[in-house]
Structure 1
Amino acid sequence: MKKHILVIAQYFYPEQFRINDICTEWVKRGYKVTVVTGIPNYPQGKYYEGYGLFKKRREKYNGIDIIRIPLIPRGKNPIMLVLNYLSFVVSGFFWMVFTKIKADYVFIFEVSPMTQALPGVWYAKRRKIPCYLYVQDLWPENVEIITGIKNKHIIGIIGKMVDYIYARCTKIFTTSKSFVKSINERGVPLEKIEYWPQYAEDFYKPIEKKSVSEIPDDDAFDIIFTGNIGNAQGLDILPKVALLLKERKLSRKIRFNIVGDGRYKNELVELVNKNDVAYMFNFIPKQPATRIPELIAASDVAFLSLSDSPLFAMTIPAKLQSYMACGIPIIAAADGETSRIINEANAGVCCSAGNYHELAGKIVELLNKPLDQLSQLGKNAKDYYNKNFDKNELLNRIDRYFDINKALKNGLKSEEKQYVQK
């Protein structure tokens, strides 16, 4: 009989998150998968066309059963965002109380907000089954940085909620090694935490460079950014960089191809226009994830950045694995884990988060590199990806926690066994 995994993920298909592929792979491996999620509204802040409180609340996707519980869309302001977070928890509580679903495991895919984990831990406690948490964003640190909330009382309450969730999870997986240390410092035993990096979906792979309608086919040096355009991404650095590059009067045009949407996009466009560098930017609407490799292949290098903060120095953005899987040179304005991986792989160049003078210099450095050296950086990126972020190997590691006999056979430490067996 198939084991049944209940996935709690506030964001799921058609929203573009890696949990979509993880669940698809579990179905292929013989698991029954049910996902409890919200009504899709990320990152635009409004319900996707065709979805709503009374539309498509049950859906099938790649063999996955999807249950969409009511929630308030994110909107474009902090109040709506808070209501969005809280509404998922309230709906999740009532779903948990009345559901007749009998799962064998709970798996929580935690990108912000951490609050979404509550229905998962409540369900696992009620059913007395293992609960696995996959931490993508650290709370309460993320709340302080993204919202600017500094009130010790509010942060303290959020911190107690986080500790409550950690204490009730069988195992906690993290996307970066730095997260392991941070969670351990909250009193969670090290043997309960494991580094489990993200992988990129199979369609992220090197493809032959060809012209695409979204990117002009000219002699420009094309730098591509893909994904969510939010405050955390630190993209306000780019208009400043463009202004510096404009003053240098380079012999070859540099173009930033910004692919995606998000809460910060309008402000970014305004900054670009204000600095009179719009001719260096090409804003491309959000694309299906499967089209991203094609756009990457039409570019010379890929760009990622994060805001300057200790939290983001510990973060590995999912797009890093996507870029590396596509075998493209990377330029990053980021510290810590992201910088370490790129330098370790010799996959591109890095500068400090927020340092636009340094970033301008790094862009010129790549611009002046011979084509064969750029190609080698891309090859290094792909080689590093294959060695460190292989999809099958990572999924096999999760399998051992979903099968007690397999876990014991693989010789886990006695401390790990007790968490698997709970």
Structure 2
Amino acid sequence: MGKHILVISQYFYPEQFRINDICTEWVKKGYKVTVLTGIPNYPHGKFYKGYGLRKKRREKINGIDILRIPLIPRGNNSIMLALNYFSFVVTGFFWQLLSKLKADYVFIFEVSPMTQALPGVWYAKKNKIPCYLYVQDLWPENVEVVTGIKNNYIIGSIGKMVDYIYKNCDKIFTTSESFVKAIVKRGVNEARVENWPQYAESFYEPIKEANKTEIPHDGRFNIVFTGNIGQAQGLDLLPRVASILKSEGYGNMICFNIIGDGRFRETLKEIIYQNKVDDMFNFIDRQPPEEIPYYISSCDAAFLSFANKELFNMTIPAKLQSYLACGIPIVASAGGESKKLINTSQAGFCTETGNENKLVNSIVKLMHLTENERNLMGERARLYYEENFDKDYLLNKMDKFFQ
């Protein structure tokens, strides 16, 4: 048996995050992998069926040992969300204090909240082993943007916690070069920070003759969005875009297929209804990740957007790699890293964040391309993915830190 990696991630299977695949691949490479996680409740805010404080607290999936510590489910309001974050840290503290587990490395998969890193940092310090942090969400910036909190005392306190975590991690990996710069600005030695882009699972690939029946095959131009439906995704832009398209005579020619779930889903549906463009939208419930390539390949283009915040210019969302891997033209409303990537790959059109008129122009332009021209865009997307986000290359790159 190879080295023992303790992975800290508040979210893990059956919750759908890329850490699931990373751990599976590490087991295939001969590592022993233990995951410390919570009871699954994302994104609905309640425990998944079959899981609970007394049910399925220990599992073994794909060779991965999973330990689920108690936490309070996310619920559907900010107070419950704060309790959810806090409870994982509290139970994580007592777990690391009492645990007899012997690991060689700690690897923290950090999507919000950053607080989840604390049990991993404490365990590594206690056992005097290397601690690695993989930053997906930048704190405290993410807290300011998502919650709207501007209080200097609160943001300052969160900043001190973040600095403590950075200080006690031997290596910090990020999903974009902009994140590297932001972390170095906080006083972290640049040699300790490295960009390790996300890859898409192997099942993300172009599917020939995909024909998902939930996607309307009625001659309309199908645009697909997949993933979390939250305020950060800036999807409130789409009803405005649909209204303009409808006024210009494209209302019965385009369909936006929204696949996924999240806190903003019902609000988005209401905005769509108020704008009287519900006939241009098709909502599909959250699907198993393995099925998503079939939905993407059943459509003509994939959509990506962000809320208009500077933080998101520094972010490359995981779905962008998934779109590229599926070889589909991309139409986006984004800036910074995402815009640079889409433009460099020549895989689609990216307009400035939140500009509905320019997005309308991009959609119409993409729709009026010939099928061969769109196929060429899709081929460029797949080629760029293979050249820049190859799974084996990235996993082998990480191996050197576990030797």
Q: Give per-residue Cα distances to partners, 1:42-81, cap 9 Å, x unaligned.
A: 1111111111111110011100000000111111111111
Q: CA deviation at 1:297?
A: 0.8
Map 1:261-410; keep pairs closer than 5 Å.
261-403=261-403
Q: CA deviation at 1:354?
A: 1.0
Q: Give per-residue Cα distances to partners, 1:349-399, cap 9 Å, x unaligned.
A: 001111111111110010111111100110000000000000000001110
Paired residues of 1:43 and 1:263 also in contact (CA < 8 A) = yes
Paired residues of 2:343 and 2:349 also in contact (CA < 8 A) = yes
Q: Give per-residue Cα distances to partners, 1:138-193, cap 9 Å, x unaligned.
A: 00000000000000000000000000000000000000000000000000010000
What's the TM-score, normalizing by structure 2? Answer: 0.99
Map 1:172-251; keep pairs closer than 5 Å.
172-250=172-250
Q: Distance in 1 between matches of 2:231 and 2:262?
A: 9
Paired residues of 2:251 and 2:280 also in contact (CA < 8 A) = no
Q: Distance in 2 between matches of 1:110 and 1:268?
A: 27
Paired residues of 2:242 and 2:251 also in contact (CA < 8 A) = no
C-alpha distance 88-251 of structure 1, shift in aligned 2 (>3 A)? closer
Map 1:130-141; keep pairs closer than 5 Å.
130-141=130-141
SS at match of 2:150: coil
- Number of residues of Structure 1 aligned to a counterpart in Structure 2: 403
SS at match of 1:303: strand
1:46 corresponds to: 46
Q: Distance in 1 between matches of 2:46 and 2:356?
A: 33
Moved over 4 A (4+): none
SS at match of 1:212: coil
Paired residues of 1:307 and 1:353 also in contact (CA < 8 A) = yes
Map 1:1-12; keep pairs closer than 5 Å.
1-12=1-12
Confirm or deny that 1:61 pairs with 2:64.
no
Q: Distance in 2 between matches of 1:217 and 1:344?
A: 31
Paired residues of 2:252 and 2:280 also in contact (CA < 8 A) = no
Q: Distance in 2 between matches of 1:68 and 1:231?
A: 29
Q: CA deviation at 1:209?
A: 2.7
1:168 corresponds to: 168
Paired residues of 2:229 and 2:265 also in contact (CA < 8 A) = yes
2:107 corresponds to: 107
| Structure 2 residues without counterparts, runs of 5 or longer | none
Paired residues of 1:327 and 1:382 also in contact (CA < 8 A) = yes
Q: Distance in 2 between matches of 1:44 and 1:180?
A: 32
The AA in structure 1 aligned to 2:17 is: F
Paired residues of 1:221 and 1:252 also in contact (CA < 8 A) = no
The AA in structure 2 aligned to 1:112 is: S
1:95 corresponds to: 95
The AA in structure 1 aligned to 2:347 is: A
Confirm or deny that 1:152 pairs with 2:156.
no
Q: CA deviation at 1:210?
A: 2.9
1:125 corresponds to: 125
Q: Distance in 2 between matches of 1:234 and 1:71?
A: 29
| Structure 1 residues without counterparts, runs of 5 or longer | 404-422
Q: Distance in 2 between matches of 1:198 and 1:47?
A: 28
Q: Distance in 1 between matches of 2:91 and 2:358?
A: 47
Q: Distance in 2 between matches of 1:20 and 1:58?
A: 16
Confirm or deny that 1:253 pairs with 2:275.
no
1:406 corresponds to: none
Q: CA deviation at 1:250?
A: 2.5
Q: Distance in 1 between matches of 2:350 and 2:210?
A: 27
C-alpha RMSD of the superposition: 0.8
Q: Give per-residue Cα distances to partners, 1:112-136, cap 9 Å, x unaligned.
A: 0000000000000000000000000
SS at match of 1:331: strand
Q: Distance in 2 between matches of 1:56 and 1:304?
A: 36
Q: Distance in 1 between matches of 2:350 and 2:282?
A: 23
Paired residues of 1:219 and 1:252 also in contact (CA < 8 A) = no
The AA in structure 2 aligned to 1:327 is: G
Paired residues of 1:85 and 1:115 also in contact (CA < 8 A) = yes
Q: Distance in 2 between matches of 1:53 and 1:138?
A: 30
Q: Distance in 1 between matches of 2:160 and 2:211?
A: 52
Q: CA deviation at 1:216?
A: 1.8
Q: Distance in 2 between matches of 1:353 and 1:81?
A: 28
Q: What is the percentage of aligned positions where both structures have the same residue? A: 65
SS at match of 1:67: strand
What's the TM-score, normalizing by structure 1? Answer: 0.95
SS at match of 1:108: strand
1:416 corresponds to: none
Paired residues of 2:205 and 2:326 also in contact (CA < 8 A) = yes
Q: Distance in 2 between matches of 1:251 and 1:306?
A: 24
Q: Distance in 1 between matches of 2:38 and 2:163?
A: 24
